[in-house]
């Protein structure tokens, strides 16, 4: 089995399909729980994930808690590591090095953002590439570029798994990714190319963004700008995937979570669309768990050749 390939398939209704990442992620979790139980019976060991959080960013605390709860649901050991916000780079490097050597830990995740005194890139590079369950180490990005097996970035891999789950064809189709970050846009472009899509990556400097977007059979927004994608930017019956998570002011003074897509306006135009929340977010967590299990197989010598 390919480390990132799911056998999950859902039958969508005839029109106006919501790409329900929450439901697909739940199915993946059931599969992963079965795999973990089988691996434990086979080896007497369980996969382990260490999540490092530095400081007290409230959003990070929520995300880390969700990841730890997900680990618990599938039987992955969770090694939480919460460090004070004034932690030095040297102390954090010492911690990462210890986790790299810890045989109980198969995946290491450095929760971003980090406090300003810490160099995010240098610290991500310090993580053992074969424990880099975020798929951000240059070695893993290089494997992705070359089409080789390895740990792949969770959010773009989650997008691909969601499209697979709904049997959305990609070969020969026009895919437009809006956003060029190393977290989502760039790796997702490579994954879509590997699926034989014709890929355009657009961004804040792109001219005629609306016209570029309107050419897409599959349109993926990952820029962090609320409701950027409007109905006139979407080709009728296109597949629309919204990676954005933004806080948007409401008339009552509170905020709502919205994506980069104006969901209410675009949903009637699209053939398939992800909601926010409940679309890509749960898939990201599911792929983190999947990567941790893949890494466990790697370290235990249980990967099939070329998988």
Longest CA–CA span in the chain (Å) reads 57
Same domain, 166 and 267: yes
Q: Would residue 100 count as lying in a domain?
A: yes
Q: Would residue 248 count as lying in a domain?
A: yes
| Residue 60, domain extent | 44-129
Q: Catalytic residue at 134?
A: yes
Same domain, 276 and 174: yes
Q: Would residue 294 count as lying in a domain?
A: no
Cα–Cα distance measured from residue 195 to residue 209, given in angstroms and rounded to the nearest whole number: 24
Same domain, 260 and 170: yes
Name the domain count of the chain.
2
Same domain, 171 and 271: yes
Peptide bond into 113 cis (omega under 30): yes
Same domain, 62 and 117: yes
Q: Which residues of the chain, if any, have pLDDT below 50?
A: 1-15, 305-307
CB neighbour list of residue 268: distance below 8 Å, 6 or more residues apart: 16, 231
pLDDT at 16: 66
Answer whether 0.85 is exceeded by the pTM. Answer: yes
Would the CA dihedral through 262, 268, 273, 278 be positive or negative?
Answer: positive
Any idea which residue has 């040297």 for tokens? Answer: 90
pLDDT digits (tens, 9 = 90+) for 160-216: 999 999 999 999 999 999 999 999 999 999 999 999 999 999 998 999 999 999 999
Is 180 annotated to bind ligand? yes
Same domain, 63 and 103: yes
CATH number at residue 253: 3.40.50.720
Same domain, 67 and 159: no
Q: Would residue 175 count as lying in a domain?
A: yes
Q: Catalytic residue at 217?
A: no
User: What is the rounded average pLDDT for all residues in the chain?
Assistant: 93
Is 245 annotated to bind ligand? yes
Is 76 annotated to bind ligand? no
Catalytic residue among 35, 95, 132, 134: 134
Q: Tokens in use for 48?
A: 């382990």
Q: Measure the CA dihedral 287/222/115/76, to 10°.
A: -10
Is 179 annotated to bind ligand? yes
Catalytic residue among 35, 95, 111, 132: 111
Any idea which residue has 């709502």 for tokens? Answer: 256
pLDDT at 94: 97
Cα–Cα distance measured from residue 260 to residue 262, given in angstroms and rounded to the nearest whole number: 7
Q: Would residue 5 count as lying in a domain?
A: no
Q: Are 106 and 292 in contact (CB under 8 A)?
A: yes
Catalytic residue among 67, 131, 227, 235: 67
Q: Would residue 14 count as lying in a domain?
A: no
pLDDT at 247: 86
Cα–Cα distance measured from residue 222 to residue 200, given in angstroms and rounded to the nearest whole number: 13
């Amino acid at each position: 089995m390919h480390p990132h390939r799911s056998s999950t398939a859902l039958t969508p209704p005839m029109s106006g399909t919501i790409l329900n990442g929450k439901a697909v992620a739940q199915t993946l979790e059931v599969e992963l729980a079965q795999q973990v139980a089988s691996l434990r019976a086979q080896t007497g060991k369980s996969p382990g994930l260490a999540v490092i959080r530095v400081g007290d960013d409230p959003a990070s605390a929520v995300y880390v808690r969700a990841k730890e709860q997900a680990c618990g649901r599938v039987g992955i050991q969770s090694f939480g590591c919460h460090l004070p916000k004034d932690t030095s780079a040297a102390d954090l490097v010492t911690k990462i090095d210890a986790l790299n050597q810890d045989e109980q830990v198969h995946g290491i995740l450095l929760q971003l953002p980090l406090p300003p005194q810490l160099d995010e890139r240098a610290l991500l590079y310090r993580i053992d590439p074969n424990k880099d369950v975020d798929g951000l180490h240059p070695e893993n990005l290089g494997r992705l570029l070359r089409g080789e097996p390895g740990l792949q970035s969770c959010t773009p891999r989650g997008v691909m798994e969601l499209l697979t789950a709904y049997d959305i064809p990609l070969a020969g189709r026009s895919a437009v990714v809006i956003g060029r970050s190393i977290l989502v846009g760039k790796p997702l472009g490579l994954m879509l190319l590997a699926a034989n899509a014709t890929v355009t990556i657009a961004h804040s400097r792109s001219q005629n963004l609306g016209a570029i977007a309107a050419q897409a059979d599959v349109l993926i927004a990952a820029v962090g700008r609320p409701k950027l994608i409007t109905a006139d930017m979407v080709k009728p019956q296109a597949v629309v995937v919204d990676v954005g998570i933004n806080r948007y002011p409401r008339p009552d003074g509170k905020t709502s979570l919205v994506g980069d897509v104006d969901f209410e306006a675009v949903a009637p135009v699209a053939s398939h669309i992800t909601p926010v929340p409940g679309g890509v977010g749960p898939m990201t967590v599911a792929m983190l768990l999947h990567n941790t299990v893949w890494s466990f197989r790697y370290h235990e010598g249980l990967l099939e050749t070329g998988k």
